[in-house]
Amino acid sequence: MRSILCYLDVPTLGQPEVYIQFRDDLITLDGDVTNDGTRKFLQSFINSYARWVARFHAPQTLSEYDAPSSSLSMLVAERQAL
């Protein structure tokens, strides 16, 4: 899947990867993580993910697109059609 997304130039988060083994006592019904080490590890992942997501904000105007004028014209036409 990742190779297809890379071919399509879709941003993917390579690292860190997270694998969580299911245990009945790891996360409570309220969503609290019971293990301090696991909680710190997950918080570290969330912090990395938030920094990664912040790199890809949606352009606020069409002028923010870094595209050739023909592509920009197509974007304008698509928006006007909506």
Give the integer Cα–Cα distance in Å for 8 and 2: 10
Q: Mean of the per-residue pLDDT values for the chain?
A: 76
Residue type, 42: L
Residue 60: the pLDDT is 57
Residue 22: the pLDDT is 80
Nearest alpha-carbon partner for 78 in 62, 60, 64, 55: 62
Give start and end residues of each alpha helix (H) in 11-68. Answer: 36-54
Q: Measured in whole angstroms, how far is the alpha carbon of residue 7 from the centre of its chain?
A: 17
